Amino acid sequence: MGGARSWWGWGDEAGALSGGEADALVGRVAAFFPGQDFADHAPPSPEDLPVAPSRVRVPGSLAHLVSAGVVDRLSHSRGKAFRDVVRNLHGDTAHVVDLVARPGSEREVVDVLDWCGREGIAVVPYGGGSSVVGGVEPRFEGPAVSLDLGRLDRVLEVDEVSRAARIQAGVYGPHLEDRLRPYGLTLRHFPQSFEFSTLGGWLATRAGGHFATLYTHIDDLTESMRVVTPVGVSESRRLPGSGAGPSPDRLFLGSEGTLGVITEAWLRLRERPRWKAGASVAFPDFDGAVAATRAIAQAGLHPANCRLLDSTEALLNAGTPVGGGVLVLGFESAHHPVGGLLDQALGHVREYGGTPLGDAAHSDAAPDGAAAAWRSSFLRMPYQRDVLARRGMIVETFETACTWDRFPALHHAVVSAAREALEWACGGGGVVTCRFTHVYPDGPAPYYGVYAPGRWGSTVAQWDEVKAAVSEALIGAGGGITHHHAVGRDHRPWYDRQRPDPFAAALRGAKAALDPAGILNPGVLVG
Amino acid sequence: MGGARSWWGWGDEAGALSGGEADALVGRVAAFFPGQDFADHAPPSPEDLPVAPSRVRVPGSLAHLVSAGVVDRLSHSRGKAFRDVVRNLHGDTAHVVDLVARPGSEREVVDVLDWCGREGIAVVPYGGGSSVVGGVEPRFEGPAVSLDLGRLDRVLEVDEVSRAARIQAGVYGPHLEDRLRPYGLTLRHFPQSFEFSTLGGWLATRAGGHFATLYTHIDDLTESMRVVTPVGVSESRRLPGSGAGPSPDRLFLGSEGTLGVITEAWLRLRERPRWKAGASVAFPDFDGAVAATRAIAQAGLHPANCRLLDSTEALLNAGTPVGGGVLVLGFESAHHPVGGLLDQALGHVREYGGTPLGDAAHSDAAPDGAAAAWRSSFLRMPYQRDVLARRGMIVETFETACTWDRFPALHHAVVSAAREALEWACGGGGVVTCRFTHVYPDGPAPYYGVYAPGRWGSTVAQWDEVKAAVSEALIGAGGGITHHHAVGRDHRPWYDRQRPDPFAAALRGAKAALDPAGILNPGVLVG
């Protein structure tokens, strides 16, 4: 991470692929899609784009917090999905926030909400802006302020006895880990957006993290939260467990900026791992690989990594040609050797025809070479996506979770729907990949990738066709519309069908009580 | 379990202590409290009590579902707390439900809610009636129907692949386990009320279960729920994990009958354990015992049992005289031997001065002898409470959770408050015990027992003084008002202070949307 943030694409400019790297990537992809036009389309100069003037006048008392600069406003008005990046490349300025506000204290958050409530200005809370579901885009009429929490970036308190820390919501992942390192503690929550997303964003979207099993959603790492709502500040008690009524935190977790602005939270930490063990296992068929993964998920072994790659995913992202899939297993502990756990897991995989690739690695160094390489590659993927998006490729992912009994039918329905939609929208071609990012005793969280040759100028519309088709398939086959990408505006039609109607009524009732003027992130979840 | 349910006390009549057992218990207790009057006070004949006639006329279409029998109405109008049992012994009939309704289908639940909504009759959902917080008592003016879900007691579907089952809410614990046994599966949720509480009650109160660590609240075992609300039926999707907005289930979990009537749920199951290993460890001082327990809770070993008893608790309930406390450790697995985990845990306890008592037991039989004996004793405790309550003793428990850093001050504050209140209310005497029922990486769930000589006729008022004092201490010292006993009506004043005000407003908004007539369990949580 370094240098200026890209206004149109992922991450920062220093992290982007070099010209040579980009050419090499395009060369590899072009081999799959002969005949495709891979001409590069550079982003426009943002200062030259026809951005409507700000409709909002800020009171003098808040003037020092706000920016009306065009690039600031543009970069706060889109997330980082494929469709966001491509619309930026086309210079789309349809919906742009009128101002960006950067409060430096909770008091200033309250002041901005008060002002916007009085004036009927919508407020879009903004963490790292890495939403891939339209969560930060002011896709509505009427004035909007983007509330960027980035100045609230401190670790306020560390409780080494209970292993927890009170942390401000605007802190980015690497900064957070840097500040915990002197204590020998870590949150160990590493979404793919880790470098460019914030604690507040993880909490507001129920982010999924590093661990493949056990507590991995940020929900489970949350001890208490502090949330500024238009009717007052809500602070829950630090409690390791509670049975006192419905959980206050669980209402705000996943509220995506519609019920309040999360300003800080107590998070559960752990010691940094000292022991690690890992292996990759090849399978001759995908069904056997799925069955082995299920056996491990149900055996109480709790691997830190248990990532099943289908054969296409294994070839594209790990360079491993296999018939049925590759299961990447990893164990870690701060307290005891984990080689025995890996051996037990390998016992399960052999029952389902799995063969370990090379020697299993038992390591007490952190991070070990293979994991570090994978992590680096994982964090680079969105930059590669940007290169290909500029060349007219459709490159996007979507994800879900379902119970094990439903996975075979869901997988078939989703892959079929994706291929049909690609045929219809793109005239054929394209690759659909699948991996499991997380596994639970009762089901996996499948994560799909789509790589297809598009027509420059139409790739957003083409992707939207594919996305609608796979979303219908997911909801029809008993999956959820999202496991860890959140709902935002893009998932709303399917979320509304997934969500029980009485719960929707309850959520609207809660929203009316907390946000009576309806200013908080309109169009997301409710309203 | 067998025979008729007691209308005034715990459990069933066959489970109650025999005359000889009761005399022996009273003899042991009398040795601690010389001079106390231990005269026995038998319960009145319920048919002779002055119960007000039912104020409710049921429509003919629902007549076959309801009972207006006095004993039925009485037994549905109190939970099973000490103060409930003693009030029953005194023949208190202040608040009694007007009718008991026993729907045999979800349709009939809807019909009862519709009727009560039209007529403005309060509905108190009733599972096993084992509430110890006034959760089922109609402590309000106006007519009330107790909605007993006991006829909805079937396991409707078992998914052996995903290891989950769809189960009706009215099933009692033993019945539920009986029906899962043929599949080799178990919910393994064993609250102390296991024999006399239902799945629906566990869900409505966020019950804490068997496991000392990891997923133990029923919340974490819940895959989806079906809830009848006055505005419609809410059914969430079966999902192993989700990041789609705030969790619908987490709003109904802990709603204590105020937002809807839970009729069924999909629960996560596990295979029955094959391997077990356990040990009891004595400590010379309580602080060292707490530190060792914390070390184990933070070491990622995930013991099934990790119950720290202070020296008084160890003496009274385990017959073990020790200076500082006894830590009861147990590991279990359906998949792999667990002796190595126990050995690792014992390594931690030795660092803090712990000494294993006798040989650690490694067993592959389930249940092993010691665990079965403890379980039997655990389930018998409420029957013993009844015997002592009849003899004028104050015998009650309360519980909480807090972070590790706060435990020493909280423990001191609570024990001091209890002793002072006993001095003030009872003129001295009495014993306060402490154990941890569950431990988390960030804190324990301490569970306190109070045994004190009372004045017959005043023991409820005496206990209420003690309860108020310890509740103030808990809230003042940063604990929660309940870890797994729920809020009900008894905890309401302290719950209102624990709960963030904006969350209370949100809950009232949700309640108004789901229960516009305000008929559901008035006085609990909201309203």
Per-residue pLDDT tens over the stretch A107-139 = 999 999 999 999 999 999 999 999 999 999 999
Q: What mean pLDDT, rounded, does chain B reach?
A: 94
B217 touches chain A (CB under 8 A): yes
**Nearest C-alpha in A relative to B245:** A254
Look at A250 and B255 and tell me if their CB atoms are within 8 Å.
Answer: no
Could you state, in order of their start, the residue ranges of all structural domains in chain A?
155-271, 275-476
Substitution target in A403, A436, A440, A511 with the highest count of B β-carbons within 10 Å is: A403
**Nearest C-alpha in A relative to B333:** A300
**Topology of domain A155-271, per CATH?**
3.30.465
Substitution target in A237, A266, A271, A298 with the highest count of B β-carbons within 10 Å is: A237
B345 touches chain A (CB under 8 A): no
State the residue for tokens 């001191």.
B412
Q: What region does B168 belong to: left with phi over 0, alpha with psi -120 to 50, or beta? A: beta
> Which range among A261-275, A350-364, B117-131, B172-186 shows the weakest confidence by mean pLDDT?
A350-364
Q: Is residue A190's pLDDT more than 70?
A: yes
Which residues of chain A are within 8 Å of residue B163 when distances are taken between CB atoms?
Answer: 298, 441-442
- Rounded to a whole number, what is the distance in Å from the CA of B386 to chain A's nearest CA? 25
Structure tokens at B395: 């015998």
pLDDT for B367 equals 42
> Cα separation of B5 and A69, whole Å?
73
pLDDT for B372 equals 65
Are A247 and A202 spatial neighbours (Cβ–Cβ below 8 Å)?
Answer: no
Percent residues over pLDDT 90 in chain B: 90
> Cα separation of B321 and B278, whole Å?
19
Give the confidence band of B317 by pLDDT, cuts at 50, 70, 90: confident
Interface of A with B in 135-174 (CB under 8 A): 159, 161-164
Across the range A492-515, mean pLDDT stands at 98
Query: Which residue has better confidence, B473 or B32?
Result: B473
Give SS3 for B451: strand
> Cα separation of B170 and B125, whole Å?
10
Give SS3 for B124: strand
Substitution target in A162, A188, A259 with the highest count of B β-carbons within 10 Å is: A162
Substitution target in B259, B503, B507, B525 with the highest count of A β-carbons within 10 Å is: B503
β strands within B219-294, DSSP E: 222-229, 232-235, 261-268, 270-271, 275-283
Give the other-Cβ count within 10 Å of B41's Cβ.
14
Substitution target in A133, A161, A216 with the highest count of B β-carbons within 10 Å is: A161
A498 touches chain B (CB under 8 A): yes
**Nearest C-alpha in B relative to A441:** B162
Are A448 and A320 spatial neighbours (Cβ–Cβ below 8 Å)?
Answer: no
Which residues of chain B are within 8 Å of residue A484 when distances are taken between CB atoms?
Answer: 241, 243
- Rounded to a whole number, what is the distance in Å from the CA of A504 to chain B's nearest CA? 9
**pLDDT, tens digit, for every residue of B239-266?**
999 999 999 999 999 999 999 999 999 9
Percent residues over pLDDT 70 in chain B: 96
Structure tokens at A210: 């590093």
Structure tokens at B463: 């206990």
pLDDT for A232 equals 98
> Cα separation of A293 and A449, whole Å?
20
Give the confidence band of B365 by pLDDT, cuts at 50, 70, 90: very low
CATH class of domain segment(s) B275-476? alpha beta
Look at B502 and A247 and tell me if their CB atoms are within 8 Å.
Answer: no
Which residues of chain B are within 8 Å of residue A159 when distances are taken between CB atoms?
Answer: 403, 405
**Nearest C-alpha in A relative to B214:** A214
| Beta bridge pairs of residue B270 | B186
The closest of B305, B352, B351, B354 to B332, measured between CA atoms, is B305
Interface of A with B in 249-288 (CB under 8 A): 250-256, 259-260, 268, 270-271
pLDDT for B359 equals 65
Across the range B293-322, mean pLDDT stands at 91
Q: Is residue B369's pLDDT more than 70?
A: no
Q: Closest to B244 (Cβ–Cβ): which among A234, A299, A482?
A: A482
Q: Closest to B251 (Cβ–Cβ): which among A268, A484, A506?
A: A506
Q: Closest to B164 (Cβ–Cβ): which among A231, A403, A506?
A: A403
pLDDT for B155 equals 98
Look at B481 and A207 and tell me if their CB atoms are within 8 Å.
Answer: no
Q: Is residue B320's pLDDT more than 90?
A: no
pLDDT for A443 equals 98
Q: DSSP string of B463-482?
A: HHHHHHHHHHHHHHTT--S-
**pLDDT, tens digit, for every residue of B380-428?**
899 999 999 999 999 999 999 999 999 999 999 999 999 999 999 988 7
Interface of A with B in 385-404 (CB under 8 A): 401-404
The DSSP symbol for A520 reads B
Structure tokens at B75: 């037994």
**pLDDT, tens digit, for every residue of A222-246?**
999 999 999 999 999 999 999 999 9
**Nearest C-alpha in B relative to A476:** B237
Give the other-Cβ count within 10 Å of B181's Cβ.
11
Which residues of chain A are within 8 Å of residue B237 when distances are taken between CB atoms?
Answer: 478, 480, 498
The DSSP symbol for A53 reads P
Look at A240 and B401 and tell me if their CB atoms are within 8 Å.
Answer: yes
Q: Is residue A373's pLDDT more than 70?
A: no
Burial of A45 (0-12, 13-18, 19+ CB in 10 A): exposed
Q: Would you say the CATH fold of A275-476 matches that of A155-271?
A: no
- Rounded to a whole number, what is the distance in Å from the CA of B229 to chain A's nearest CA? 7
Which residues of chain B are within 8 Å of residue A240 when distances are taken between CB atoms?
Answer: 401-403, 440-445
Interface of A with B in 285-304 (CB under 8 A): 294, 298-302
> Cα separation of A500 and B236, whole Å?
6
Residues in chain A: 527
